[in-house]
Structure 1
Amino acid sequence: MFDFIKSYTSDDSGAVTVDWVVLTAAVCGLAIASFASIQAGSRSVGDNVSDYLTNTDVETVMGLDG
């Protein structure tokens, strides 16, 4: 019985799989967090551009206002 426990605890054949699963989960979590951050910032920039273009005459945007 002790030999079985020794061999079971020293066997590391599944350790690489566990490492990859943990690393992949961490990368996915970082990607989701980054996407959320970028999405909020780009929405703000888009709203600012929309407001500027809505409230500005075409002549002013094109530089034809004199």
Structure 2
Amino acid sequence: MTMMNLVKRFQKDEDGAVTVDWVVLTAAIVGLGLIVMAAIRPGISGLAANIGTELNGWEIGVTGLPQ
């Protein structure tokens, strides 16, 4: 079998093509998730800082048995 025949047979072979499709699809979904997280991260960080500032201003009473 010549090298050209091997290459032609390899090009026609479809075994594993579904696996490659799933790998590409999964990589695209992960990439999209990373892009979305990068876009909303500044807003989430700002909101977390505002919540922390608000909670630090609260006084919480202690209940329980006297010491």
Give the structure 2 partner of residue 36 of structure 1. Answer: 38
Q: Over aligned residues, Cα RMSD in angstroms?
A: 2.8
Q: Counterparts of 1:40-59 in structure 2 under 5 Å?
A: 40-50=42-52, 53=54
**Aligned-pair identity (%):** 39
CA distance in 2, matches of 1:42, 1:29: 19
Give the structure 2 partner of residue 24 of structure 1. Answer: 26
Structure 1's unaligned 5+ residue stretches are 57-66
TM-score normalized by structure 2?
Answer: 0.55
Structure 2's unaligned 5+ residue stretches are 58-67
Aligned residue identity for 2:11 = T
Greater RCO structure (CA 8 Å; 6+ sep): 1
Q: Would you say how many aligned residue pairs link Structure 1 and Structure 2? A: 56
Three-state SS of the structure 2 residue aligned to 1:19 is helix
